[in-house]
Amino acid sequence: MTAKEILEELTTEEKASLCSGKDFWTLKSVERLGLSSIMVTDGPHGLRKQQGSGDHLGLNKSVPATCFPAACASACSFDRDMLKSAGRAIAEECLSEQVAVILGPGANIKRNPLCGRNFEYFSEDPFLSGEMAAALIEGIQEKGTGASLKHYAANNQETLRMTSDSVVDERALREIYLAGFERAVKKAQPWTVMCSYNRVNGTYACENKKLLTDILRGEWGFKGLVVTDWGAMDDRVAAAKAGLDLEMPGSRGYNDAKILEALKNGTLSAAELDALVLRIIELILSSQKSLERAKGAGFDAAAHHALARKAAAKSAVLLKNEGVLPLVKGKSAAVIGAFAKAPRYQGAGSSRINPTRLDGAFDELLAAGVDAEYARGYIQGRAETGSAGAADEESLIREAAALAAKKDAALVFAGLPDEYESEGFDRKSMDMPQGQNRLIEAVAAANPNTVVVLHQGAPALLPWAGKVKGILLMYLGGQAVGGAAADLLTGAANPEGKLAESWPLSLSDVSSYKYFPGKGKTAEYRESIFVGYRHYDAAGKTAAWPFGHGLSYTSFEYSGLAPERGSFKKGEKLRVEFTVKNTGGREGAEAAQLYVAPASSAILRAPKELKGFEKVFLKPGESKTVNMILDERSFAYYNVPHDSWAVEGGAYSLLVGSGSADIRLAVEIQVEGDGLEKTLAPLREKTAEYFSQGKGEFSVSDAAFEALLGRPLPPSRRNPGDPFTVNNTLEDIKDTEIGGKLVEEFRAVIGRQFGGDQGLRLMMEIMAMEMPLRSIAMLNPEMTPEKAANIIDMLNAVPQSS
């Protein structure tokens, strides 16, 4: 039967039932019509299929699977083919476990380096993010497994992620926060898109018709299914009318009944419900075909591990090298740091994979023939030590420095421990553990040939950077990161990664510094389009390591930049050609980048924007011609009064280089515009502050941001005396008698479950306090939606102090 034929045979009750999950990971079935229950599971850089009870935090055990580099790492490869290969391998593992859809990739923009979940996201740049997401989706779906592009949209912090309102102007929304999703949807057509927890300009993403229907389906042509993030559902009927198809993990029938009630009272039409159900049926039918073909199939774990090692090597970024790398064969090395034996290779939370194996760099260096000796250096996993722990750590530092002094080179493996960055909370600073900083300082003082190998999911401040000769950034490189690090350190592989995000000299240099993570109910995106390198360029700031930066053991020369024409107008495409030559003595790969820069502008524009990139593999002395295509969107901005993309005319420079701050070639062309920028003239005076930002902290007034936003700012905090709702968090109600008792109960449960792991217990407490009652009711069997509603009634029955 076809999907439409099945739809016609379904009862109204069956239709409503299909709109929510059967349990944590599976959809409901209608066996009489041939619809089976299919499974979806977490990703995005590997399969996380849980064997027992389900959770969305990576706590319970999952089946062994290959842990590929996280997006923070893989984006730095600038390598679409590599992402596709990883996607195919992930799909093979999904099919071997009869998993229909893997929940990833994440295409959210890295607005601020403190976001605790940045390790799951690709970039600060929407073009790169969209291209990397599309490549991974294509690889996954090529094998017949569905992908789920997430978290749509403007979900750029973990603090109050389930209730916060992302207040963002339309240009920034379109040009920065939606553009990566748009590119991935148009290029790869993911089977599903996952909406985020947060509100976007006042409306929850899961019931935002503008996002889910008008833009996603109407403008971008999305054909698949929209699913909630787990526990994100607010108003089921409003969500259905907005275009939200599937609620996960389901509400044990509560919201199914809401759908039936809405059908009876006319709030929801039969046609609206049928549209949702048809897309759910189509997903199940497509999945059933793939899963039936894959029954009994396995996967080559050794081959996938080898692919993960290759991917980690391609994704690593050599930040600094003063002739110390690759290591000289036959020379001795001190290998220092707990991460050398037990690397931090993935992030914490729902993306946590149970790896098929795990490589440590120390063992891999020994296997490569390096004369190496190990010292622990620091206490892994301890954010800050007490007095006894500090004494132990100082002893470890002295031991490591003594070892380093006896060797030809010192390799320090350091980075951020799990408790510093995770799903569920944001970092408070960019600092590394102080014990690690002291260790690196001591080792560098003992050995002039010190190299630091970093394992972390986001930028950090490196106060010792000027005292070491080399810095190799592995990010969170997956289960084979130890072997990849050994390959790079010994020269068996040549570094080719480029930074997919800027590394600031100071947190205060970040454009959202004063506004992240927001004030209570809202997160104000006052920096607008000036995110990442766009801000550094506009403000004339220098980054510690700029976007696109990455060194190699060889050198590359650029020449012959030649656009096919010296002019461009709307509706055309423009081919741009140049040559890259390997002028060094080793084979290597270069990620050549193409930026577009308006010579001047009457409106707010970034000085330049990435609009093309290509990975070029070259042997010593070899040259290759690189071709990139620019189109109308390469020169466009979003014109809010006309609610459309527009092109400002004038001179534009096409800039080609090895990084955003390493431009090698430039040529100017003339672009014919549409003149729509004139409609923005009245806005310029009201937003003058945006045009005059200097090197200090980015700051704009309420009036300027309101002018850009086009409306008054919403209240940022709950007013005392406001009625409570199921969207209030435990934090909101903790000072009431009922809320205080509820908080005590939750803390007691968390203490019993996680008391032996202080870091995990604190993480769970933070997440619980920021979770709205409706989400607790969805995710916790002991708290039903009816019980949550009763608690709200009791809270509101008691007079509140104002």
Nearest to 778 by CA among 200, 41, 197: 197
Rounded Cα distance, 611 and 596, in Å: 7
**Mutual orientation of helices 270-294 and 254-265 as an angle, nearest 10°?**
140
Given a contact cutoff of 8 angstroms between Cβ atoms, the answer to whether 199 and 231 are in contact is no
Q: What are phi and psi of 138, to 5 degrees?
A: -60, -40
DSSP string, 119-181: GGB--SSHHHHHHHHHHHHHHHHHTT-EEEEEEETT----TTTTT-EEE--HHHIIIIITHHH
Determine which helix (DSSP H) or strand (DSSP E) holds 651, and give its type and residue range: strand 650-659
Rounded Cα distance, 239 and 785, in Å: 17
The three-state secondary structure class of 335 is strand
DSSP string, 649-685: -EEEEEEEEEETTEEEEEEEEEEE--SGGGGGHHHHH
Nearest to 130 by CA among 175, 93, 68: 175
Using the structure block, give the residue that is written with the tokens 């992908």: 147
Rounded Cα distance, 766 and 791, in Å: 21
CA dihedral 660, 661, 662, 664 (to 10 degrees): 70
Amino acid letter, 361: A
Task: Count how many Cα atoms sit within 13 Å of the Cα of residue 326 in the half-sphere of its side chain.
Answer: 20
- The residues with which 159 forms a beta bridge, in sequence order, are none
Nearest to 626 by CA among 634, 610, 614, 609: 614
Q: What are phi and psi of 334, to 5 degrees?
A: -90, 125
Rounded Cα distance, 404 and 449, in Å: 9
Given a contact cutoff of 8 angstroms between Cβ atoms, the answer to whether 197 and 234 are in contact is no
Determine which helix (DSSP H) or strand (DSSP E) holds 574, and give its type and residue range: strand 574-582
Nearest to 50 by CA among 423, 353, 323: 353
The three-state secondary structure class of 629 is strand
Q: Which residue in 169, 229, 234, 537 is the catalytic one? A: 229
By CB atoms closer than 10 A (0-12, 13-18, 19+), residue 109 is buried
Q: Which are the contacts of 654, defined by CB distance < 8 A and separation ≥ 6?
A: 561, 563, 576, 594, 595, 596, 597, 630, 666, 667, 668, 669
Given a contact cutoff of 8 angstroms between Cβ atoms, the answer to whether 575 and 629 are in contact is yes
Rounded Cα distance, 396 and 388, in Å: 13
Task: Count how many Cα atoms sit within 13 Å of the Cα of residue 508 in the half-sphere of its side chain.
Answer: 4
Q: Is 793 a catalytic residue?
A: no
Rounded Cα distance, 117 and 478, in Å: 16
Q: Read off the DSSP letter of residue 206.
A: G
Rounded Cα distance, 341 and 323, in Å: 25
Reading the block at residue 489, the tokens are 């350190």
Rounded Cα distance, 43 and 274, in Å: 30
Rounded Cα distance, 310 and 288, in Å: 33
E-strand ranges in 538-608 read 556-563, 567-569, 574-582, 588-598
Q: Which are the contacts of 214, defined by CB distance < 8 A and separation ≥ 6?
A: none
* Torsion over CA: 84, 86, 88, 94 (sign): negative
Given a contact cutoff of 8 angstroms between Cβ atoms, the answer to whether 175 and 154 are in contact is no
Active site residues: 229
